[in-house]
Amino acid sequence: MQKSSRVAVLGGGSFGTAVANIIADNNHHVRLWMRNPDVASAINEQHINPRSFPDFVLNSQLKATNDIAEAVRDADYVFFAVPSQFSRDVAQQSRAHIKKGAALISLTKGIEAETFYLMSQVLGQEFPDHSIAVLSGPNLAKEVIQRQPTATVIASKDDHLIEQVQAMLHTAYFRVYASSDMYGVELGGALKNCYAIMCGMAAALGSGQNTIGMLLTRSLAEMSRFAVRLGADPMTFLGLAGVGDLIVTCMSPLSRNYKVGFALGQGQELEAVLQELGQVAEGVNTLSLVQQKAEELNIYMPLVNGMYDILHNGKSIADVVDKLMLAEQNTDVEFSMLEK
């Protein structure tokens, strides 16, 4: 049995709260950091997160704070669960207080705008002497907090850290698989958000299941094509962090990015949708970054280009589907075509 560890989770949104609650369920000492002192007080006094899960009682051992130094001090493991645009800032705020040898685990599915760095790369720059891992998979926070059976993937170059995180997070309702492909696992988590917006739009417009099936499978091909060009293992996309996360995010009304797409498909304006959502939908920012990078590297990504046209150039989902149907007919599965 794993000994009790001191753990910090930075980011008190829905997934950060859900992961912190798992860790508390496993009898570790966990502190959850968030900026809002009122939410922190509600977690400590009422054992609820009124913004993310007002109807769910959290483990009473979970403690919250809005003092980042207090959260990370003496922590053996620090989980980063803040939106990608704030990740470097939070890393820099916490750096002076994180002890030497603490392991860092990213839960964020996004890309840094200025650099096109994934979160493991951001953490690697800010913490060059620490072991780093990333966690990603088909993990809707609301279902995790309800303790519904869920699986995820932990990826790292440090095999020992993988084993430690697996033991820390494994419960009767949460299973953690291992991977050595950090880049592929992170790219899967970031890229699928773009396609969830498109599938939400398609659902709002009444598209048939044939259309949805086509969008999902072409999305998977496009994701893997892009990721392999950037150095990922294509087989990663056949697992939980690839096709598993893609299906969940593109098919569930619980997904923020799906919600954005569905609202757009109903004719709402993007800015109004994001304001009403009240949470970060990583796919909106990721889409523009991926479109620019694909253009720079000359990677064929018709769905990303189509979604970019919809969000920024006034095109419709019908225009994108028509363009896809009229495009050159090529190989269905590309993995076997890759050069060794």
pLDDT in tens, 41-74: 999 999 999 999 999 999 999 999 999 999 999 9
- Give the separation between CA 183 and CA 162, rounded to whole angstroms: 15
Q: Are residues 226 and 85 in the same domain?
A: no
Average pLDDT of the chain is: 91
Query: Across residues 250-258, what is the average pLDDT?
Result: 89
142 labelled catalytic: no
Q: Are residues 60 and 122 in the same domain?
A: yes
Regarding beta strands 29-33 and 174-179, do their DSSP bridges make them parallel or antiparallel, or are they unpaired? unpaired
Residue 96 lies in a domain: yes
Assess whether pLDDT exceeds 90 at residue 281.
Answer: no
Q: Are residues 171 and 217 in the same domain?
A: no
Residue 111 lies in a domain: yes
298 vs 320 pLDDT, higher one = 298
Q: Are residues 275 and 303 in the same domain?
A: yes
Scanning the structure block, which residue is given the tokens 């991977």? Answer: 179
The domain boundary residue, chosen from 180, 200, 234: 180
Q: Are residues 115 and 203 in the same domain?
A: no
Number of structural domains found in the chain? 2
pLDDT at 2: 64
Write the pLDDT tens digit of every residue in 16-30: 999 999 999 999 999
318's CB contacts (< 8 A; 6+ apart) are 205
Q: Are residues 23 and 53 in the same domain?
A: yes
pLDDT band at 340 (very low <50, low <70, confident <90, very high): very low
Measuring CA to CA, how many Å separate 2 from each of 6, 29, 51, 153, 170? 12, 13, 32, 19, 11
Residue 27 lies in a domain: yes
Query: Across residues 176-180, what is the average pLDDT?
Result: 97
Q: Running DSSP on this structure, what letter comes out for residue 238? A: G
The whole domain housing 317 covers 191-337
Q: Are residues 138 and 221 in the same domain?
A: no
pLDDT band at 126 (very low <50, low <70, confident <90, very high): very high
- Percent of the chain having pLDDT more than 70? 94
pLDDT at 207: 87
The domain boundary residue, chosen from 180, 200, 235: 180
Q: Which of 109, 192, 293, 315 is catalytic?
A: 192
Stretch among 56-65, 157-166, 281-290 having the lowest mean pLDDT: 281-290
E-strand stretches of 6-143 = 6-10, 29-33, 63-65, 77-80, 103-106, 132-136
Q: Are residues 154 and 254 in the same domain?
A: no
CATH of the domain at 243: 1.10.1040.10
Residue 247 lies in a domain: yes
SS percent in the chain: helix, strand, coil, step 5:
55, 15, 35
Assess whether pLDDT exceeds 80 at residue 335.
Answer: no
Highest mean pLDDT among 125-134, 204-213, 251-260, 274-283: 125-134
Q: Is the Cα dihedral 143, 53, 282, 16 positive or negative? A: negative
Q: Are residues 331 and 287 in the same domain?
A: yes
Q: Which residues pair with 103 in a beta bridge?
A: 77
- Give the separation between CA 294 and CA 191, rounded to whole angstroms: 12
Q: Which residues pair with 302 in a beta bridge?
A: none
Stretch among 81-85, 287-291, 293-297, 328-332 having the lowest mean pLDDT: 328-332
Residue 185 lies in a domain: no
Q: Are residues 173 and 63 in the same domain?
A: yes
Residue 1 lies in a domain: no
pLDDT at 158: 97
The domain boundary residue, chosen from 180, 211, 226: 180
CATH of the domain at 19: 3.40.50.720
Residue 186 lies in a domain: no
Q: Are residues 155 and 246 in the same domain?
A: no
Q: Are residues 132 and 208 in the same domain?
A: no
Residue 151 lies in a domain: yes
pLDDT at 274: 77
Write the pLDDT tens digit of every residue in 127-153: 999 999 999 999 999 999 999 999 999
